[in-house]
Structure 1
Amino acid sequence: MTRFLELEGCFNFRDLGGYRTSGGGTLATGLLYRSDGLHRLTARGRDGFAALGIRTVLDLRAEEETLRRPWTPPENWRGRRRVLPLRPEPPVWSATELERADPAFAAEHYLDTTRTGATALGAAFTELTAPERLPAVFHCAAGKDRTGVLAALLLAVLGVSEEVIAADYALSEQATARWVASLAAGNEDDTPPAFATLPPAMLHAKHETMLVFLRGITELHGSVTGFLTGLGVREEQLDQLRSALVR
């Protein structure tokens, strides 16, 4: 199936449905989406968004980002939007050039994101475990890093294998190519100048990066479920999420 939805203005809007779980089920389509910044949606893109019937938008960007690049919902949208910053402050990059190019560097950044964004992650799961909150979409700026962390945790707790989670994460490479092609075509872009200073490992979505991140969660917390219950997410809430999304 094609995972990318063609919503004009976004490059990385995807349906997380269709993946198989370890219990033999399949994730329902049309209920859970991941995306890059919704503020990029054009008027036509907002019409496409409205047609999806989304009830909940979780914005994982920092408060300052949401103010600088606000999202304009479709006219008459009656959904619920929450700003849940996974990184309230911009990261400070410090490492050798060799380390900064290593996929493990990005994985460690994601593990750090689970620390800086612990409260926000707990709140995100609480939101998504309420059936009336679906369909839902969560997003950051590029839809790769902060969004990738939440997507990985969600897919893992729903029973999707690590290899499939890593493959889903790596699809952001295609989104980057779409973004680059848009720039080459002369289209406008709102990427801040700081993008050019990102460590090399953070410019890609390598399969191995996600595997290292998931193994790190297991080493630190025993399992993704152990990590989430440590944040205050209850087992019955996770069961509700599975009931709503696994067919």
Structure 2
Amino acid sequence: MTDNPKLSSVVPSLANLRDIGGPESRFGGSVRTGAVYRSTDLASLSKEGEQTLADLAVTTIYDLRTASERETAPDRTPAGIRELGLDVLADKQYRAIPAQMQQMIADPRAASELLGSGQALEYFQGSYRDFVTLPSAVASYRQLFLDLAEPTSAPALIHCTTGKDRTGWAAAALLLFLGASKGAVFEDYLLTNTVLLPLFAPLFEKFAATGGDPTLLEGVLGVRPEYLEASLAELESVHGSIEAYFTDGLKIDQDTQTRLRGNLIG
């Protein structure tokens, strides 16, 4: 464990692990700590990682990856922990950047052509808008928040592959719903760059050694404020408010919303 209450672990097999609790809520009190965590996937979970999950008393894991991601790199979920697979991107037509990631890392020229022209920003902004309106995303986030409204679901862990995009929106939407300020939401979101990017140092060094500009990869392997801003702009355009997103977009009734806030605000 670390001294930073937001950074719950430095266990390599649980990279990007942190507690989303702590921010003050406009409803009074603050978002509960020790209730909802976020991380990368558990495909390489070590004994140390298992012990960390036991120490955190995690009872439920929400896996936001695609079915193919889960099949290729299944979580090593410890016995006794309930896991729900929620395929946020099931309905998404994939574009070039994820498919060409290995090529870009090996060929700085290809990376420059694809990432240097602003396509990475365009791709991620499109993905983050999809988090709000894509049918599979709506269904997945609805189920996530419905389940978190049940007291027995916590302490819970939410993850995707690197724990930054699909998980980033889950945490951001939940924090906003729980009354956290946008400043606190962005603080949690951008912690990924502090926690996760250093783990890619060997990759950045290799890329630089072959003539590449490591900053080109940072927008793909890390996060940028513009990504989350795209989700929030889409939410504002389509629904008008976080409350309307939960009520009209996710079709979560008021009683369930009240229970969700009751569980996670203290």
2:38 partner SS: strand
Note the C-alpha offset of 1:224: 1.9
Note the C-alpha offset of 1:199: 8.2
Note the C-alpha offset of 1:33: 0.5
Give the aligned CA root-mean-square deviation in angstroms.
2.6
- Find 1:219's aligned residue among 237, 249, 253: 237
Note the C-alpha offset of 1:213: 2.1
Q: In structure 2, do the counterparts of structure 1 residues 135 and 219 end up closer, same or farther at CA, with 3 Å as the change threshold?
A: same
1:4 partner SS: coil
Q: Distance in 2 between matches of 1:157 and 1:118?
A: 15
Which residue of the partner structure matches residue 107 of structure 1?
125
Which residue of the partner structure matches residue 175 of structure 2?
155
Which residue of the partner structure matches residue 72 of structure 1?
76
2:19/2:36 contact within 8 Å kept? yes
**What is the letter of the counterpart of residue 235 of structure 2?**
I
**What is the letter of the counterpart of residue 82 of structure 1?**
L
Q: In structure 2, do the counterparts of structure 1 residues 203 and 184 end up closer, same or farther at CA, with 3 Å as the change threshold?
A: closer
Q: Percent identity?
A: 28
More helix by share: 2
- Find 1:28's aligned residue among 4, 22, 32: 32
Which residue of the partner structure matches residue 12 of structure 1?
16
**What is the letter of the counterpart of residue 152 of structure 1?**
A
Q: How does 1:182-197 map to 2 (within 5 A)?
A: none
Q: How does 1:108-127 map to 2 (within 5 A)?
A: 108-114=126-132, 115=134, 116-127=136-147
Note the C-alpha offset of 1:122: 0.8
Q: Name the stretch that deviates more: 9-18 or 172-181.
A: 172-181
Q: Could you give the per-residue CA deviations for residues 33-78 of structure 1, whole angstroms, max 9, x where no partner exists?
A: 111112222111111112211111100001111111111222xx32
**What is the letter of the counterpart of residue 84 of structure 1?**
L
Which residue of the partner structure matches residue 238 of structure 1?
257
Q: Distance in 1 between matches of 2:154 and 2:115?
A: 43
Q: In structure 2, do the counterparts of structure 1 residues 49 and 182 end up closer, same or farther at CA, with 3 Å as the change threshold?
A: farther
Which residue of the partner structure matches residue 133 of structure 1?
153
Q: Give 5+ residue unaligned stretches, structure 2.
A: 98-113, 206-215
- Normalising by structure 2, what TM-score? 0.79
Q: In structure 2, do the counterparts of structure 1 residues 183 and 50 end up closer, same or farther at CA, with 3 Å as the change threshold?
A: farther
- Find 1:57's aligned residue among 61, 70, 79: 61
Which residue of the partner structure matches residue 87 of structure 2?
85
- Find 2:227's aligned residue among 192, 209, 214: 209
Q: Could you give the per-residue CA deviations for residues 3-27 of structure 1, whole angstroms, max 9, x where no partner exists?
A: 1222341210110111111233211
Q: Give 5+ residue unaligned stretches, structure 1.
A: 186-197
Equivalenced residues, count: 233
Q: Distance in 2 between matches of 1:160 and 1:107?
A: 23
Note the C-alpha offset of 1:177: 2.3
Note the C-alpha offset of 1:157: 0.5
Q: In structure 2, do the counterparts of structure 1 residues 212 and 73 end up closer, same or farther at CA, with 3 Å as the change threshold?
A: closer
- Normalising by structure 1, what TM-score? 0.84
